Amino acid sequence: MSPPDKSYLQVLSELEQWGSYETSAQPRDISKLEGIRLLLKDLGHPERAFKIIHIAGTNGKGLTATMISRLLCIEGIATGCYTSPHLIDIRERIALNDQYVSKNIFVQSASLVLKIARSYKGTPYLSYFDVLTAIAFHVFMAENMEWVVLETGLGGRADSTNVTDKKICVITRIGLDHMEVLGRNLEEIAAEKTGIAAQEFQ
């Protein structure tokens, strides 16, 4: 096994230890984003290095993110795209100019993020998705992306991606999903998802 592949597998193993936010998510107040906010601060605020298009909704988020990203790439704009979940390889979630991030670039950013995350020793709380989002932001900064398209992981208001200023917010079709986390009816769910556009949460 080549050194890059070995390092990549080591990073994947460590990421798995953080658990899966997508399958273990519970309702959390916006104050619980303090973990990722601190992590980004200690990384030098990579999320401030590019302009952001933020996408939330129930159906079509990933497709919308991919289409917008591709259109920006066609215009010759350095563009990052962050989507979830992945099917086979975690690098599917982080695209640079319409291509999955390389193992080498992923390992460089992930190693730094994980080192800082470990130093917190569980306080403040960081979910798997918090850590992965920070890795994506660091990759986009390191690779000099001009625009980044972000797909929310779950909901919007208290989602790990909702810790940035954004130039454009996009809301796709909203339906009844993740009701145990987002709300009991369409109005409550819509309030969570449209929370990406609320200035108080930026």
Mean predicted confidence (pLDDT) in 49-73:
94
| Inside any domain, residue 86 | yes
185 within some domain: yes
Is 15 domain-assigned? no
Q: Is there a domain that residue 52 lies in?
A: yes
What confidence score (pLDDT) does residue 122 get?
A: 84
β-bridge partners, 100: 95
- If one counts the domains in the chain, the total is 1
Mean pLDDT score, 7-31? 68
Tell me, yes or no, whether 20 lies in a domain.
Answer: no
Segment 65-82, tens digit of pLDDT: 999 999 999 999 999 999
Note down the domain range covering 167.
30-201
Would 16 be classed as within a structural domain? no
Q: Map tokens 């001009």 to a residue.
A: 146
Residue 78 lies in a domain: yes
**Integer Cα distance of 127 and 117 in angstroms:** 10
* Beta strands across the sheet bearing 79-82: 99-100, 94-96, 79-82, 147-151, 51-56, 168-171
Q: Give the pLDDT band (50/70/90) at residue 202.
A: very low
Residues with Cβ < 8 Å from 81, sequence gap 6 or more?
65, 66, 69, 94, 95, 98, 148, 149
What is the per-residue pLDDT for 58? 84
CB 164 within 8 A of CB 54: yes
Specify the pTM: 0.89
Q: Is residue 115 part of a domain?
A: yes
pLDDT value, residue 200: 44
Contact 196, 160 (CB under 8 A): no
First-to-final CA distance of the chain: 43
- The enclosing domain of 59 has a CATH number of 3.40.1190.10
Confidence at residue 201, expressed as pLDDT on a 0 to 100 scale? 43
